[in-house]
Amino acid sequence: MNYIEVNNNQRIHLSTIPILEYDNFADVIVNFLKSDIKYHCVNYFGYLEKENIKLICCIADDSKHSINVLSSIVKSSDKLQSITPNHYAMHIFEREIHENFGIDFIEHPWLKPVRYSFNRADKNSNIANYPFYKIDSEELHEVGVGPIHAGVIEPGHFRFICNGEQILHLEIQLGYQHRGIEQLILEKKNLLQRTTIVENIAGDTVVGHTVAFAQAMESLCGFLPSEALQFERVLALEHERIAIHTGDLSAICTDVAYQLGSSVFGRLRTPVINYFQQWCGNRLAKGLIRVGKTNFQFSDNLAEKWLEVFNAYKPDFQEMCDEIFDLPSILARLEKTGTVSTETATKIGTVGMSARASNLNRDIRFSHPSGYYNKLNYMPILGKSGDVHARAKLRKDEINTSIELITKMLAKYPKHNSNEPVIGVPVADSFVISLVEGWRGEICHCAITDDKGELKMYKIKDPSLHNWLALALSVRNNEISDFPICNKSFNLSYCGHDL
């Protein structure tokens, strides 16, 4: 067997992952990715193991709801045949491995730095000498934006090559936010400290990342979360989705200078995120998700409050949506702006909401459901056109579906027992992969323990890692003044990418 098939959140012994020769390893990956659209690579990373580097590749199989894991052992001085020319979606993983270990991938189009991690192989390469794509034309001009964002959100540098008002090329350089999250998780031995770090991977996906972490840790410890716990996590995930999507709709309206939509959606978002405050004392849901337990049990009182909040929310939301998806001046801005075709989305491995807007079915809730999602039989919503309008509309539809979903869940939900089991310690030499559909897309956490049961490797992948390229491609041949609206329609995370 060339690979081992695991389920989402299934713990396996590290030695059961087949170790292949690199050439064979690359072939297997290419064959998977080429054979069918249902395969996509959810994570591909390396880690040091006794002077050598162990590469682990996880390929999700959407139809069998499983993940195929395979590995290979290489040396940092090796020159390996790149997979990217055969499948572009792999470019970012290979760049990351190259950056961290100095492995040369032959025929990789451009082994550009990803984030200048502190433990990178080549210390001479830094942000000051970043190799930008250059033009050599008198006719074209370059516009550099950032790294300080005009709205002071997060740092990132965008360099446009324009022909007048038309964008020919956009290069996005990130890495300013790199904090060494993966390393920090290994260094801090305390579970609570680790959870707090995970909560801060991306401030807008607190629930998403923490649920992925909690599920990975629980699987490592062989702990089965109670049904009530699983229910709470799904509720929090969907609630986070509603909150952020509403905020995004407001931001999209702001960027097309439609004041009414901007202020109405802004107002609607507030009670939604304030609900988290009522539940766990933090508007961003920090502290809500904990490994193996919860400090804030869901109650009838909270259920009632939730219904109250959304009874007020729904009519106003509906009215405003009817307005913006019907107003010619807005449609003129949204439609056919920032289009990502299904073909492009598939090629570059777009995930999550951005993929679904381009009619590419990537939804972990459907393909690899875990916990309470198994009971819900969630069906993904797909957009068609892949433009800003499709992404805005998808947000509206997902909000409505999430509200429906939670309302249904609240009709009859599991309660906590008084004597719930306590989580144990991680099992030695294990590997676990945890996939969660955050509001932005698939979040993938992989954990590996050593022979003492200590975490040896913790790998995090935020959906932004793939989707930034989708943004860069979507703005080509658009006007430069439409870039902000395209950017907002993706709403990608800088720190989720930079870790």
Partner 1 sequence: MLSFILIILVSFVFTGIVIRTKSLASGRKGPGIFQPMKDIYRLFKKGAVYSDTTSIIFQIAPTIYFASIIMAILVLPFGHSKGVISFSYDFVFFAYVLAMGKFFNIISALDTGSSFEGMGASREALFSMLAEPAFFILMGSLALLTGYSSFQEIFMTFHFGSYTSYAIGALATFVLILICMVENSRMPIDDPKTHLELTMIHEVMILDNSGFDLGLILHGTNMKFALYGALIANLFMGNLPLYYSIPLFIFIQSIFAIVVGLLESFTARFRMSHNAQFILVLSSVSLLVFFSVLMVMGKFN
Query: Are 236 and 413 spatial neighbours (Cβ–Cβ below 8 Å)?
Result: no
Cβ nearer to partner 1, comparing 388 with 457: 388
Find the shortest distance in angstroms from Cβ 474 to partner 1: 15
Question: 321-325 long-range CB contacts below 8 Å, 24 or more apart?
Answer: 321/249, 321/396, 323/260, 323/261, 324/249, 324/253, 324/258, 324/261, 324/392, 325/392, 325/393, 325/396
Rg (CA), the chain: 22
Cβ nearer to partner 1, comparing 367 with 487: 487
Structure tokens belonging to residue 141: 């001009």
Find the shortest distance in angstroms from Cβ 407 to partner 1: 27
Rounded Cα gap, residues 342 and 335, in angstroms? 16
Cβ nearer to partner 1, comparing 488 with 497: 488
DSSP line for 60-114: EETTTTEEEEEEEEE-TT-EEE-STTT-GGGHHHHHHHHHHH--EEET-S----S
Find the shortest distance in angstroms from Cβ 192 to partner 1: 38
Find the shortest distance in angstroms from Cβ 457 to partner 1: 40
Q: Which of 128, 127, 126, 157 is nearest to 142 (CA)?
A: 157
Find the shortest distance in angstroms from Cβ 323 to partner 1: 10
Query: Are 271 and 313 spatial neighbours (Cβ–Cβ below 8 Å)?
Result: yes
Query: Are 331 and 190 spatial neighbours (Cβ–Cβ below 8 Å)?
Result: no
Cβ nearer to partner 1, comparing 143 with 192: 143
Cβ nearer to partner 1, comparing 244 with 256: 256
Find the shortest distance in angstroms from Cβ 264 to partner 1: 8
Find the shortest distance in angstroms from Cβ 29 to partner 1: 39
Determine the residue type at 351. Answer: V
Find the shortest distance in angstroms from Cβ 497 to partner 1: 21
Find the shortest distance in angstroms from Cβ 450 to partner 1: 48
Cβ nearer to partner 1, comparing 258 with 313: 258
Q: Which of 89, 81, 95, 98 is nearest to 59 (CA)?
A: 89
Q: Where on the chain is the footprint of partner 1 (CB under 8 A)?
A: 141-145, 150-151, 165, 253-260, 262-264, 267, 327, 329-330, 332-333, 337, 479-484
How many helices (H) and strands (E) the chain has is answered by 17, 14
Cβ nearer to partner 1, comparing 257 with 425: 257
Q: Which H or E run includes 44?
A: strand 39-49
Cβ nearer to partner 1, comparing 97 with 249: 249
Find the shortest distance in angstroms from Cβ 262 to partner 1: 8
Cβ nearer to partner 1, comparing 149 with 178: 149
Dihedral in degrees, nearest 10, Cα atoms 163, 164, 170, 174 = 140
Cβ nearer to partner 1, comparing 37 with 148: 148
How far CA 482 is from CA of 188, 250, 261, 471, 489, in Å, comes to 43, 17, 18, 12, 11
Rounded Cα gap, residues 333 and 486, in angstroms? 10
Instruction: Assign residue 222 a region (left: φ > 0; alpha: ψ between -120 and 50; beta: otherwise).
Output: left
